Amino acid sequence: MILFTKLYDRILSEKGKSRVLLQTYFGDIRDCYSKVIAMPFDGIGLDFVEGQKTLEIVKNFGFFEDKTLFAGIVNGKNIWRNNYSNTVNLIRELGKYWKSVVLSTSCSLLHVPFTLKNESNLSDAYKKHLAFAEEKLTELSELKRILSNSDPESTTEYRENEKLFNELRNCGNANVQAALSALSQDDFIRHPDFEEREKIQKAEFNLPLLPTTTIGSFPQTADVKANRSNYKKGKISFEQYVAFNKGKISEWIALQEKIGLDVLVHGEFERNDMVEYFGENLDGFLFTEKAWVQSYGTRCVKPPIVWGDISRSKPMTIDYSVYAQSLTSKYVKGMLTGPVTILNWSFPREDISLKDCAFQIALAIRDEVLDLEASGIKVIQIDEAALREKLPLRKSDWHSEYLDWAIPAFRLVHSGVKPETQIHTHMCYSEFADIIKDIDDMDADVITFEAARSDLSIVKTLKECGFKTEVGPGVYDIHSPRIPSVSEIKEALLKMLDEIPKEKLWVNPDCGLKTRGNEETIPSLENLVIAAKEIRKSLSV
């Protein structure tokens, strides 16, 4: 706040005739509000959607005649229609504290898709509940018209909106709700505890020291993508589509055996995206055709929409996993995406809590885990690539608002498996020093994560906090086409072994290989296996 005051005092002292609006978003500004409001800003933008305390702090500070409030009342991050009745009441309330109020979105519209206009596959029954960027602007102008009427509740727009929100949205599933309310503490605890399981699994799997594995996907080469798109366009039959994928699986199982990896994967050739694939196979999601949003840089994603209660009506990954396992005597990992990542990379519902929604997804993925186990899959990886993404801005809210349900959601997915079934998880980053206890609390047996680009600093932290979970910090960066040499992989492993007991260390790349080509993937994995074998030898002397 000292820096803020210093900077803005200077900006405001030189504003001359210009008017300055301070725009805030992604939450309330709590403790800073009293200072900000005392400064000569002409307007202040506050977020009334994510800012849980915004209204309360506004109420505490009296009336402002000379400043304008830019009230963020239309959600800039989610895709649901605005509830006009709530908004009209809120604006009336705000009128008691601010003479001049501007209606605004809660943040920039970068986070929502452009327009609903081109979504021809979605029926109106769904679309009427949605508002993308263009529709949000319409909402703002409708709200303006409504609020400038002496009797807002009598306007057509208001009444139509009220009708929409009074309508039953037909999104509930009684079985899911019953399963959710039947959950007890024990459903979140895996038995026996980690140490016991680790012993059982060491005996069961009999893997070498420093077991080698990959994160799941293999290169999505042009033929893999063509197979998926031909099937989607109806150019090939389901049988042809599956036969191609099985061919790829068998090719890559043979390759992995030849390279000498210890724990294999099927390669994820059937998946477009790790969230979209599960969204499409679960009940309760809606899919758009053109609703892209920026993920980072030029990379865009098309997040599924959580429409209703989530359930699994059929197995989603069993066939390919069982097929892959049938081709080899080595262990093949079953490969799933975890509930927190599925939720964080979708547009969530607003009529139930994120916690309830995460638990619903967890129950659905749990069924898949149990089916994989029953089908003979002994190692199951549940990816939580996006676990860290929705940590609240304020550290003080991390547990109460997020981790206290996100970690249990993950535990719910795997708590039902046998002690000798090994649960892996994967995260795309290693900046988790500040939530390291929570990561350990996920109670997975093995976690793999990105470490190649962050100079292994996390490894020290793991030791300091007595991290129990076995770990596979990525030994090379898959985001670059560079082929890592045997000696540099060995060097990375030796550094890791300074801090991590050899019984707990796994050897793997730092993420899935789907964006790489075969020409760099195969030699990189060959080097990885040679490096692991050489270090292994030196450890056993």
Nearest to 346 by CA among 313, 312, 380, 390: 390
Site string for Zn ion, 504-533 (x = CB under 5 A): -------x----------------------
Least Å from the CB of residue 505 to ligand GLN:
20
Least Å from the CB of residue 272 to ligand GLN:
11
- Is 479 tagged catalytic? yes
d(CA 308, CA 171): 4
Give the binding range for ligand GLN (CB under 6 A) out of 14-22, 60-68, 215-223, 451-459: 215-223
d(CA 348, CA 52): 17
d(CA 191, CA 208): 25
Site string for Zn ion, 77-106 (x = CB under 5 A): ------------------------------
Exactly one of 306, 322, 387, 511 binds ligand GLN (CB under 6 A); that residue is 511
By the rule CB under 5 A, 413 interacts with Zn ion: no
User: Parallel, antiparallel, or unpaired: how do β-strands 263-264 and 470-473 relate?
Assistant: unpaired
Please state whether 264 falls in left (phi above 0), alpha (psi between -120 and 50) or beta.
beta
- Neighbouring residues of 297: CB distance < 8 A, sequence distance ≥ 6: none
Contact yes or no for 372/318 (Cβ under 8 A): yes
Residue 338 binds which entry of Zn ion, ligand GLN, none, CB below 5-8 Å type-dependent: none
Is the CB of 28 or the CB of 445 nearer to ligand GLN?
A: 445
- For residue 396, count CB atoms less than 10 angstroms from its CB and return exposed for 0-12, middle for 13-18, buried for 19 or more: exposed
Is the CB of 158 or the CB of 269 nearer to ligand GLN?
A: 269
Residue 216 binds which entry of ligand GLN, Zn ion, none, CB below 5-8 Å type-dependent: ligand GLN
Least Å from the CB of residue 268 to ligand GLN:
6
Contact yes or no for 238/231 (Cβ under 8 A): yes
3-state secondary structure of 71: strand
Helix axes 84-95, 133-148, angle to 10 degrees: 50
User: Parallel, antiparallel, or unpaired: how do β-strands 305-311 and 283-286 relate?
Assistant: antiparallel
Q: Please give the backbone phi and psi of residue 297, each rounded to the nearest 5 degrees, phi first.
A: 55, -125
By the rule CB under 6 A, 217 interacts with ligand GLN: yes
Residue 514 binds which entry of Zn ion, ligand GLN, none, CB below 5-8 Å type-dependent: ligand GLN
d(CA 309, CA 233): 29
Q: Please give the residues from 379 up to 398 whose contact with Zn ion meets the rule CB under 5 A.
A: 385
Is the CB of 88 or the CB of 385 nearer to ligand GLN?
A: 385
Is the CB of 91 or the CB of 380 nearer to Zn ion?
A: 380
Least Å from the CB of residue 160 to Zn ion:
45
* Tokens found for residue 106: 């809660």
Contact yes or no for 32/4 (Cβ under 8 A): yes
Nearest to 165 by CA among 88, 229, 63, 230: 88
Exactly one of 51, 216, 473, 484 binds ligand GLN (CB under 6 A); that residue is 216
Give the binding range for Zn ion (CB under 5 A) out of 182-190, 224-232, 275-283, 377-385: 377-385
Exactly one of 215, 379, 522, 532 binds ligand GLN (CB under 6 A); that residue is 215
* Tokens found for residue 288: 């758009």
DSSP code string of 464-524: HTT--SEEEE-SS-TTS-PPPPHHHHHHHHHHHHHHS-GGGB-B--SS--TTS-HHHHHHH
Contact yes or no for 528/475 (Cβ under 8 A): yes
333, β-bridge pairs:
379
Q: Please give the residues from 423 up to 442 whose contact with Zn ion meets the rule CB under 5 A.
A: 428
Is the CB of 215 or the CB of 493 nearer to ligand GLN?
A: 215
By the rule CB under 6 A, 514 interacts with ligand GLN: yes
Number of residues that bind Zn ion (CB under 5 A): 3
Q: Please give the residues from 326 up to 385 whose contact with ligand GLN meets the rule CB under 6 A.
A: 335, 383, 385
By the rule CB under 6 A, 274 interacts with ligand GLN: yes
Number of residues that bind ligand GLN (CB under 6 A): 13
Amino acid at 515: T
Residue 383 binds which entry of ligand GLN, Zn ion, none, CB below 5-8 Å type-dependent: ligand GLN
Nearest to 272 by CA among 345, 380, 340: 345
Q: Please give the residues from 440 up to 499 whose contact with ligand GLN meets the rule CB under 6 A.
A: none
3-state secondary structure of 344: helix
Give the binding range for ligand GLN (CB under 6 A) out of 36-44, 158-166, 356-364, 509-517: 509-517
Cα-trace Rg, the chain: 26
Least Å from the CB of residue 84 to ligand GLN:
39
By the rule CB under 6 A, 428 interacts with ligand GLN: yes
Give the binding range for Zn ion (CB under 5 A) out of 135-143, 364-372, 404-412, 503-511: 503-511
Least Å from the CB of residue 243 to ligand GLN:
23
Give the binding range for ligand GLN (CB under 6 A) out of 156-164, 254-262, 466-474, 507-515: 507-515
Positions in the binding site for Zn ion (CB under 5 A): 385, 428, 511
List residues with catalytic annotation: 479
Positions in the binding site for ligand GLN (CB under 6 A): 215-217, 268, 274, 335, 383, 385, 426, 428, 511-512, 514
